[in-house]
């Protein structure tokens, strides 16, 4: 490859050419200065020839340098080609060795590919077996969880029915105390009932009663006669407490209503209240 030092060796001295260029331009100026006005034909031709020779002498050294460098480049290229031709045998041998190595590598790659394929097939088979095992385990676990959830729901429903039944008895006792007119007994049973209600409110069981003079609401109230009262019926008394569990209605409040001017009779005994109290609704039924 050529370097800057190699090209410096073929530099042409330019000052003789520039001197000749100046002489020719001076001669052209001298002819123009000494000529008449207008210039004669030979004077014009002489000026053009002098200017042309001056321009030629100005670019001639650069042309000579370019040709020298071009010859140097061609010589260098021929030398490089000769060196490459000399190294061709070595390159051919290296190519042959590389081809042999490539063939060996290809054989090894085929062996490795076959082994990897066998391993992949075995892994796929084991993966399918493992998936089947996981599916069976998940099905068994889901069945166990469903069974446990069903048990918990049944236990919750039974526990809720027991609580509702107990609170029905407490409500009946309070109603009996109110009918007895004994203020001390009424206060004690009222405090006991409120304490029990505050306790069950913490777990989501909310008792509620219908206030007298409230309009009958079929979504929250149930008539003690077992029928649906006429529109506009007014509640006069609560026979049995209603309940909600965690925001869902468990049982409607059993009430007596007045129709027009006719008012239902008040309960006469605790036994009557217990007999007319509705059975608690299971949790599953309330959820549905």
Q: pLDDT tens for residues 178-190?
A: 888 888 888 888 8
Q: pLDDT tens for residues 46-58?
A: 878 888 887 777 7
243: DSSP letter = E
Instruction: Enter the tokens of residue 56.
Output: 């030629």
DSSP state letters, 80-124: HHHHHHHTHHHHHHHHHHHHHHHHHHHHHHHHHHHHHHHHHHHHH
Give the CA angle between residues 210, 231, 219 to the nearest 5°: 45
- The three-class DSSP label of residue 98 is helix
Instruction: Enter the tokens of residue 141.
Output: 């676990």
* Amino acid 226: pLDDT: 66
Answer whether 276's CB lies under 8 Å from 246's CB: no
- Would you give the distance in Å from CA 229 to the centre of its chain? 57
Question: Which residues, 6 or more positions from 246, have their beta carbon under 8 angstroms from its beta carbon?
Answer: 204
pLDDT band at residue 111 using 50, 70 and 90 as cut-offs: very high
* Amino acid 3: pLDDT: 57
Give the CA angle between residues 187, 267, 186 to the nearest 5°: 5
Q: CA–CA separation, 91 vs 114, rounded Å? A: 34
Lowest mean pLDDT among 8-17, 31-40, 66-75, 265-274: 265-274
281: DSSP letter = P
Answer whether 185's CB lies under 8 Å from 177's CB: yes
* Amino acid 4: pLDDT: 52
Farthest-apart Cα atoms in the chain, separation: 159
In the predicted model, is pLDDT for residue 123 greater than 90? yes
* Amino acid 285: pLDDT: 39
Q: Taking the CB of residue 85, how many other CB atoms lie within 10 A of it?
A: 9
Q: CA–CA separation, 53 vs 26, rounded Å? A: 12
Quickly tell me which residue has 């003789």 as its tokens. Answer: 16
* Amino acid 1: pLDDT: 52
- Would you give the distance in Å from CA 276 to the centre of its chain? 59
Query: Above pLDDT 70, what percent of the chain?
Result: 83
Answer whether 284's CB lies under 8 Å from 153's CB: yes
Q: pLDDT tens for residues 226-241?
A: 667 777 788 787 888 8
Q: What is the pTM assigned to this prediction? A: 0.41
* Amino acid 120: pLDDT: 92
* Residues, the chain: 288
* Amino acid 268: pLDDT: 39
Provide the β-strand partners of residue 215: 234
* Amino acid 284: pLDDT: 43
Q: pLDDT tens for residues 80-94?
A: 777 777 777 787 888
pLDDT higher at 287 or 148: 148
Section 88-102 average pLDDT: 85
pLDDT higher at 120 or 256: 120
In the predicted model, is pLDDT for residue 39 greater than 50? yes
């Amino acid at each position: 490859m050529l370097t800057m030092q190699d090209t410096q060796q073929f530099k042409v001295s330019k000052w003789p050419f520039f001197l000749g260029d100046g002489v020719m331009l001076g001669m052209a100026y001298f002819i123009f200065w000494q000529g008449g006005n207008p210039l004669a034909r030979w004077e014009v031709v002489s000026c053009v020839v002098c200017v042309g020779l001056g321009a030629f002498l100005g670019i001639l050294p650069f042309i000579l340098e370019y040709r020298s460098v071009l010859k140097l480049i061609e010589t260098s290229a021929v030398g490089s080609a000769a060196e490459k031709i000399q190294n061709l045998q070595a390159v051919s041998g290296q190519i042959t060795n590389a081809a042999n190595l490539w063939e060996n590598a290809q054989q090894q790659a085929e062996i490795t590919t076959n082994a990897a394929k066998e391993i992949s097939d075995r892994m796929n088979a084991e993966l399918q077996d493992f998936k089947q095992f996981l599916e069976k385990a998940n099905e068994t676990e889901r069945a166990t969880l469903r069974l446990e959830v069903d048990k918990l729901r049944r236990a919750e429903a039974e526990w809720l029915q027991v609580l509702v039944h107990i609170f029905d008895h407490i409500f009946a006792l309070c109603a009996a105390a109110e009918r007895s007119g004994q203020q001390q007994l009424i206060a004690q049973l009222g405090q006991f009932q409120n304490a029990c209600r505050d306790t069950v409110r913490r777990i989501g069981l909310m008792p509620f009663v219908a206030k007298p003079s409230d309009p009958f609401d079929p979504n929250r109230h149930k008539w003690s006669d077992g029928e649906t009262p006429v529109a506009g019926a007014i509640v006069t008394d609560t026979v049995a407490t209603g309940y909600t569990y965690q925001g869902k209605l468990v049982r409607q409040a059993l009430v007596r209503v007045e129709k027009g001017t006719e008012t239902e009779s008040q309960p006469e005994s605790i036994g009557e209240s217990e007999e007319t109290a509705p059975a608690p609704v299971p949790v599953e039924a309330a959820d549905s």
